């Protein structure tokens, strides 16, 4: 069965930092060498919250206790199927942070996030989250690594 094109992406927040994953461990990873949040593809019949909680447990060992849906990102590329990412932040969890088999987890100062190798469009949603922008819909279209279209709540940026 092909992977779902519905995904979750979550950034845990603590002490002015985000928990980020440096994607260095998987072969054929579209995010290879990039820094991203935690998350992944929906499994059959999962809700966004069920996917979020399962992926958080699988990738970090943590059980999220307080999380918020910040927006949806429509991620379009000439290299793979369009993905619809439910973007969350989380501020409370239980358990101990565990190693992840998909990348290296690290707490990164929010101000230093922009210096990391990121998808260009990720910088847009980091700013929206920093500004406490209300729930948003962000469409990002890539050709290769180049961001060629940005649309926020239906309006071109």
Mean pLDDT by 10 residues, the chain (157 residues): 89 97 71 87 97 97 98 96 97 95 92 94 96 97 96 98
Four-way CATH pick for 6-156: 3.30.590.20, 3.90.79.10, 3.40.50.720, 3.30.360.10: 3.90.79.10
- Rounded to an integer, what distance in angstroms lies between the CA atom of residue 152 and that of residue 126? 13
- Rounded to an integer, what distance in angstroms lies between the CA atom of residue 150 and that of residue 125? 11
Instruction: Tell if the pTM clears 0.85, that is, is over it.
Output: yes
Is residue 43 classed as helix, strand or coil in its secondary structure? Answer: coil
């Amino acid at each position: 069965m092909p992977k779902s094109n519905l995904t979750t992406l979550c950034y845990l927040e603590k002490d002015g930092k985000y928990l980020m994953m440096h994607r260095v461990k998987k072969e054929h990873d579209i995010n290879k060498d990039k820094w991203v949040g935690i998350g992944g593809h929906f499994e059959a019949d999962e809700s966004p919250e069920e996917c979020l909680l399962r992926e958080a447990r699988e990738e970090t060992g943590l059980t999220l206790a307080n999380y918020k849906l910040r927006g949806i990102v429509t991620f379009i590329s000439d290299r793979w199927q369009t993905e619809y990412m439910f973007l969350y932040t989380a501020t409370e969890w239980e358990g101990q942070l565990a190693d992840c088999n998909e990348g290296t987890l690290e707490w990164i100062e929010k101000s230093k996030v922009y210096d990391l190798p990121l998808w260009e469009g990720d910088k847009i949603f980091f700013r929206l989250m920093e500004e406490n922008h209300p729930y948003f819909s962000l469409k990002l279209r890539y050709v290769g690594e180049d961001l060629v279209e940005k649309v926020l709540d239906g309006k071109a940026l």
